Structure 1
Amino acid sequence: MIKQLEQKIKEILLTCKDSSTGKPWAERLVSVEKVGDELRVDLCLDYPCQSLHPIMQDQIKQALNSQLNQRECAFKSLVVNLDQRVQTHRIQQNLKRVKGIKNIIAIASGKGGVGKSTTALNLALALQKEGARVGILDADIYGPSQPHMLGANTHPESKDKKSIEPVERFGLQTMSIGYLLEDQAVIWRAPMATGALLQLLQDTRWKDLDYLLLDLPPGTGDIQLTMSQKIPVSGAIMVTTPQDIALIDVRRGVHMFNKVNVPVLGIIENMSTHICSQCGHEEAIFGTGGGQHLADEFEGELLGQLPLDIRIRQGADHGQPIVLEGSASEISEAYRDIARRFAAKLSLQPKDFSHHFSNIVVE
């Protein structure tokens, strides 16, 4: 009886789709169980969207209740449970994964001054609020900014004198050259800078992360080249402002990721509009439509648009990122919406199951 019921539920869920991925809910079905008069249906998502679970559960429940005959199926109440478990996705060929990290996501801009680092940090916190385990690595060796925006004035610890512990702040696991050098100028040639980045990534004891966001410096230089050749990256996100001068450099960044076979998951348009705090007038001071035009040009997705708002700057300056602020809930929700979109987009990329198998040695 339960097998027939499970098959019926699968058929119903094949007609209902997750709006974030376009995939039928039947693909997320884990189990069907009857306990007394209660019918329990368990599903599991492969991307974080904790805030949407109640809405999703209601949609699934309505679909099942409308097509299942309670008397024939011998149940009086229906319970839909929704879990989430982030999967590991494909990386560049011939690279090994970093221990403790499922997916590394590069946050890039191509041009400085577009708010990439602020966006990366708030995006990391938004992913965490959606139920993911998240870290952020400040890859800007010459101009690290994450320690200041995190309000973290500390030195990383080394328990075994061989590796370093990530600095935890707001529940995020973080690492930056800024923790080690503080306000000292980094006067290094490119090989030293790229070597330092690799050490920060590989020598940090990351702990079971679903996502590590890699906050890249602007441009397409040595750091980016090292990332593409030596760092296992699952995807990239480009941050831009709507103005043409920013879009020129972002195009170069997209071309770079395409050449090194790193999928670009989407475009974030920052400083999209400015809303006057005095009168409420909204104005697109950097132009309009740039992010969407760029996404269309590369057949990608505009993940979202963020405003030019003084509260975002104040949060970054004071070490209290705006996603943590309840008073700016509309901006916080914008970051969370982008986080859910990007995570859903990544979930559609090919999975990497190699970590499930033991190494095979032929002698």
Structure 2
Amino acid sequence: MRPTISRLLQATRCLQHENPLGLPKTGTIPRFQRGLPTKRPIQNVKKVIAVSSAKGGVGKSTIAANLSLSLARLGLRTGILDTDIYGPSIPTLFSLTSHQPSLTSSSQLIPLTAYGVQTMSLGYLTPSSSSALIWRGPMLLKAIQQLLHSVAWSPSLDILVLDLPPGTGDIQLSITQQIVLDGAVVVTTPHILAVQDAVKGMDMFDRVEVPILGLVQNMSLFRCPHCHGETAVFGGEEGVRQVCKERGVELLGDVPLHPNIGEDASRGRPTVVAEPESDRARVFMDVARAVARKVGLEV
């Protein structure tokens, strides 16, 4: 009989734990030796990309979800891993808030699948979506370690999308030091503060030698459905394009500010699923094609 999910929830009630996700000891990975850990690939995954923003509130998780769904629509076996420990969004975005993963006989988490995409998130393992995780740094890093290496992606994936938490701190550095990343997509809005933070995020990836696949500009223009006029709510796009030019980075896509994007996401049916023929979905598909090409996947 497979281990019950209750074993996964026990660890959320404490502040210090050698095994924060509560996985059985059999099949768990060994502790790291002194010094930096050795980068290693994620089992059963060909390519791994990170979707990142150094600033919260720019729509990073929505972009990551729609990107993974677009990659799946292109015929790639796709997964998404939610590494945002404090604010996991993938359960809501994929309408899986009431579901919990089970374990394999070797004590690995079995992903939950929705809309053709395999998903895993710490949000599946907490008692409720409103429960706060009061975890210290070491426990967070151990949880990330288990999420990266204790998930049974099956069948093997062509590409795994990592939804990173905002910022450039311990979790981001831990991920980039532990696994082989094939590239990163940086999400920003046109607002000057978001652009400044996006540059910081790009600096982080440069320092850890992760290729930057490009930028996605989110919430760029609002097109009024009544007068059909366009308004740059968060400022013009000149700042993003200037950063791309200075850094030699491609602007992968320009996602407009549209109420349906947020409403569809809150209902657990992201744009690519809810409105696959819309102009907005076509932007996500174009971003997915560019990402697949940059990491060497044929679509």
- Structure 2 gaps of 5+ residues are 1-36
Instruction: Tell me the alpha carbon deviations over residues 17-44 of structure 1, each in whole angstroms, 9 at most, x when there is no partner.
Output: xxxxxxxxxxxxxxxxxxxxxxxxxxxx
CA RMSD, 1 decimal: 1.5
Identify the residue that residue 89 of structure 2 maps to in structure 1. 145
Deviation at 1:280, TM superposition (A): 2.1
Identify the residue that residue 229 of structure 2 maps to in structure 1. 281
Identify the residue that residue 68 of structure 1 maps to in structure 2. none
Structure with greater helix percent: 1
- TM-score, normalised via structure 2 length: 0.83
Given that 2:144 and 2:175 are in contact with CA atoms closer than 8 Å, whether structure 1 keeps it comes out as: no
1:194-233 superposed matches below 5 A: 194-207=141-154, 208-233=156-181
In 2, Cα distance between equivalents of 1:222 and 1:159: 30
The residue type equivalent to 2:50 in the other structure is A
Pair 1:173-2:118 in alignment: yes
Deviation at 1:190, TM superposition (A): 1.4
Instruction: Tell me the alpha carbon deviations over residues 35-73 of structure 1, each in whole angstroms, 9 at most, x when there is no partner.
Output: xxxxxxxxxxxxxxxxxxxxxxxxxxxxxxxxxxxxxxx
Given that 2:276 and 2:282 are in contact with CA atoms closer than 8 Å, whether structure 1 keeps it comes out as: no
> Which one has more relative contact order, counting CA pairs under 8 Å at least 6 apart?
2
* TM superposition outliers: structure 1 runs of 4+ over 4 Å: none
In 2, Cα distance between equivalents of 1:94 and 1:157: 29
- Structure 1 gaps of 5+ residues are 1-92, 349-363
In 1, Cα distance between equivalents of 2:293 and 2:229: 34
Instruction: Tell me the alpha carbon deviations over residues 102-141 of structure 1, each in whole angstroms, 9 at most, x when there is no partner.
Output: 1110100110000000000001001111111110000100
Instruction: Tell me the alpha carbon deviations over residues 317-350 of structure 1, each in whole angstroms, 9 at most, x when there is no partner.
Output: 00011101247521111100111012112229xx
For residue 204 of structure 1, give the secondary structure of its aligned residue in structure 2.
coil
The residue type equivalent to 1:116 in the other structure is K
Given that 1:325 and 1:332 are in contact with CA atoms closer than 8 Å, whether structure 2 keeps it comes out as: no
Identify the residue that residue 53 of structure 2 maps to in structure 1. 109
Percent of pairs identical after alignment? 44
Given that 1:295 and 1:302 are in contact with CA atoms closer than 8 Å, whether structure 2 keeps it comes out as: yes
From 188, 194, 215, give the equivalent of 1:267.
215
- TM-score, normalised via structure 1 length: 0.68
Identify the residue that residue 30 of structure 2 maps to in structure 1. none
Given that 2:47 and 2:295 are in contact with CA atoms closer than 8 Å, whether structure 1 keeps it comes out as: no
From 189, 205, 229, give the equivalent of 2:136.
189
Residues 146 and 281 of structure 1: is their aligned pair in 2 closer, same or farther, counting only changes over 3 Å? Answer: same
In 1, Cα distance between equivalents of 2:174 and 2:62: 23
The residue type equivalent to 2:101 in the other structure is P
